Amino acid sequence: MCGRYVSTRSPEDLTRLFRVTDWRPEEALAPSWNVAPTDDVYAVLERTPRGDAAAPAGRELRPLRWGLVPSWAKDPKIGSRLINARVETAHQKPAFRTAFAKRRCLLPADGFYEWQSVEDRATGKTRKQPYFLHPADEQVMALAGLYEYWRNPDVKRDDDPEAWLVTCTILTTEATDAAGRLHPRMPLALTSDHYDAWLDPRHQDPDELHSLLTQPAGGHLNARPVSPAVNNVRNNGPQLLNEAPS
């Protein structure tokens, strides 16, 4: 799975890298070295510009809440359990199938964390050691995601900012390479030549869409043990990526 990741690139960098045409400075997010479920995260998606339904679709950078809430959900708290979607079944599952067909996005990341049980040399007890996995070339990862709209029934007006909750999930697959030694699942990614097809809501054939997805960095990921401080979602900062004794 992917339960925590790092996203520190500036919105200016992301708009350039992903050829974004619509970004609002007031929606800027702070860099995070410990992105956790239910946090707001940057997503790249393609849709008609906000406030102009007649305009052609453009590429947008906007914050979404991590943890997909299906449109039919009675309680938005379900999103905390839907942070990942298995690529093998996402196009079939009720929670994800509409989003897989029509609402796909990219979630920029520097890398992601996985944990492995190790024996603590000092105490002899088993503990969870976090590892940071990232592309060997340090390039931005474009994680494959889905997004969905949820209408808050307690808000009467559609144009009220509180009326709509927009959330996302990360697609995962069987893990290989460095990730496979740490966890059986890993996030999927896209290469830049596949961004257009993935984001285009007109492309709805599951087989075609699956063919666009790849292992992050082509499977060429570096993994290093990092500070156990990552385990607490309240901790943040670049010091979390300092290499720790394995």
pLDDT on residue 52: 61
Q: Would residue 246 count as lying in a domain?
A: no
* Block residue for tokens 């960095």: 217
Which residues, other chains included, contact 38 with Cβ-Cβ below 8 Å and sequence gap of 6+?
65, 66, 67, 79, 80
CATH number of 88's domain = 3.90.1680.10
**Residues 223, 229: Cα–Cα separation, whole Å:** 17
pLDDT tens digits for 141-178? 999 999 999 999 989 888 888 899 999 999 999 887 65
Where residue 38 falls (left for φ over 0; alpha for ψ -120 to 50; beta otherwise) is: left
Q: Would residue 191 count as lying in a domain?
A: yes
Q: Would residue 108 count as lying in a domain?
A: yes
Query: Is 0.95 surpassed by the pTM of this model?
Result: no
Which residues are annotated as catalytic? 2, 114
State the CB neighbour count (10 A cutoff) for residue 65.
Answer: 21
Where residue 177 falls (left for φ over 0; alpha for ψ -120 to 50; beta otherwise) is: left
- Whole-Å CA distances, 148 to 67, 173, 230: 10, 21, 28
CB-based contact 198:181 (threshold 8 Å)? no
Q: Would residue 151 count as lying in a domain?
A: yes
* Block residue for tokens 């949820």: 150
Q: Would residue 205 count as lying in a domain?
A: yes
What string of pLDDT tens digits covers the 246 residues of the chain?
789 999 999 999 999 999 999 999 999 999 999 999 999 999 999 986 666 656 677 899 999 999 999 999 999 999 999 999 999 999 999 999 999 999 999 999 999 999 988 877 777 788 889 999 999 889 999 999 999 999 999 898 888 888 999 999 999 998 876 555 666 788 999 999 999 999 999 888 999 999 998 877 676 788 999 999 999 999 999 999 998 876
Annotate 68-103 with DSSP letters as a single string.
---TT-S-GGGGGG-SEEETTTTTTSTTTHHHHHH-
pLDDT tens digits for 203-220? 889 999 999 988 776 767
Instruction: Please give the tally of structural domains in the chain.
Output: 1
Greatest distance between any 2 Cα atoms in the chain: 65
Q: Would residue 76 count as lying in a domain?
A: yes
Domain interval for residue 106: 5-241
pLDDT on residue 187: 92
Closest CA to 44 of 103, 91, 2: 103
pLDDT on residue 204: 87
pLDDT on residue 23: 94
